[in-house]
Structure 1
């Protein structure tokens, strides 16, 4: 029995949908450990910031380096088919965000550390929302939740903002990573 042209077209559409979904799930699996790594870094960094705010700038530099190196390690040692083309795009994205951050703080200098922390968290949330537009809706949802939690903590729990971000912000990243793994 021969397929009609409509049946063949439908079969090709179904195959394309399965291929796209498979790629999305694969990218979720690759992103999940990185999200969880940053969740742990946020718990350590924001927790230490709450306890010893004077040492926060240096601690965050160390933690950011550990996080970036950890992501590079996870990206290189996970199962993947990333090309050099993909790698330079991610690195360029990170450098672009870092440059934006520095320039924004130069033009609009913060009056206290909580502003810097909230601004960075919102940039991270923006990054996840934008990644969600390209990779899959779950990343966008994680970004929106992170932004909402950041704004809530900044305005409603100002005295405990760093602790809020350690527990809720870091926890949201870890839970988001676990959610991506279950996709």
Structure 2
């Protein structure tokens, strides 16, 4: 192998390490957002199951706390980096856009009932996971597709326990997914 081939091989290996490092950082940063939202949605789903007549207040509270927590996480990352973290700011902006889209459709779908709205929101968030997977890696896509399948199954099979099932889906897809992403982001060391 001549010098030119060795240099080409070395540059390819450096590029591969750079891609893996970038992916690991994305996974590590995304994990906190996913764990936050997974826990909040699970709590909201349990409260909604127990107090269905207070559904609107429960979800406005969950969304408010979640948005504040998301902003705190994003801006804390920016302070840690001593500059604006474009990735964290894009996460916040994407979440706001996705939620605005969901709110607009929720008002149109409201006559369909709470159960259909719960499945709509679950599949909407899972669709966000799938889209992220297109850009960042197959793990997001797998979690999103799996959460969507489970959400649709919940609608048809869970009966009166639908909201608890949706909460469990968010624990599986977001909390456990966030922990798995964190572990992949920091490595197995």
Establish whether TM, by shorter chain, passes 0.5. Answer: yes
Give the equivalent residue in structure 2 for 1:127.
128
2:105 maps to 104
State TM-score, norm by structure 1: 0.88
Question: Is 2:161 the partner of 1:160?
Answer: yes
TM-score (norm 2): 0.85
1:95 to partner: Cα distance: 3.2
With over 3 angstroms needed to count, the CA separation of the structure-2 counterparts of 1:69 and 1:3, relative to structure 1, is farther
Could you list the per-position Cα deviations for residues 62-109 of structure 1 after superposition, in whole angstroms to 9, with x for gaps in the alignment? 111111111221222245577365455334323322332234345555
- The within-5 A match list for 1:18-97 is 18-78=17-77, 79-80=80-81, 83=84, 85-86=86-87, 88-97=89-98
User: RMSD between aligned alpha carbons?
Assistant: 2.2
Structure 2: where are the runs of 5+ without partners? 185-189
- Tell me the distance in 2 between the aligned counterparts of 1:159 and 1:182: 35
1:176 aligned partner = 177
Once residues 114 and 85 of structure 2 are traced to their aligned partners in structure 1, the CA distance between those partners, rounded to angstroms, is 37
Residue segments in structure 1 that go unaligned for 5+ positions in a row: none
> Does the CA contact (< 8 Å) of 1:41 and 1:67 recur in 2?
yes
> Contact 1:150 / 1:165 at 8 angstroms: preserved in 2?
yes
Partners in 2 of 1:20 and 1:101 — Cα distance?
33
Q: Which has the larger share of helix?
A: 2
Distance of aligned partners of 1:105 and 1:166 in 2 relative to their CA distance in 1, 3 Å threshold? closer
Structure 1 ranges of 4+ moved more than 4 A: 79-82, 84-88, 106-110
Whether the 8 Å CA contact 1:149–1:169 is kept in 2: the answer is: no
